Amino acid sequence: MPQEQANNPLHGITLETIVIRLQEHYGWDGLSQRINIKCFKSNPSVKSSLTFLRRTQWARDQVEALYVATFTAWPYLREST
């Protein structure tokens, strides 16, 4: 089973960790500019964001993609230059 997740950069990272790290990195305003969802714009909180993202797959996909692009892609780009 561990081999199935070998290329998954999100393996072992909870949605809560993803939201917290993105919020710390971009702030709520930065998140709402990058991903246009209400839970990042109107009274944003980790709890309300998690509730929405757990029910809304398209939004969760966008948040996960931003996390991967922000925190996992950079080391690979630096290695190739």
pLDDT by 10s per residue, the chain, length 81: 455 666 777 878 899 999 999 999 999 999 999 999 999 999 999 999 999 999 999 999 999 999 998 887 655 544 444
**Residue 59 and residue 14 in contact, taking contact as beta carbons nearer than 8 Å:** no
Radius of gyration of the CA atoms of the chain, in A: 14
Q: Which amino acid is at 47?
A: K
Tell me the domain boundaries of the chain. 13-80
Q: What is the CATH number of domain 13-80?
A: 1.10.720.30
Q: What integer pLDDT is reported at residue 79 of this predicted model?
A: 45
Q: Which amino acid is at 51?
A: T
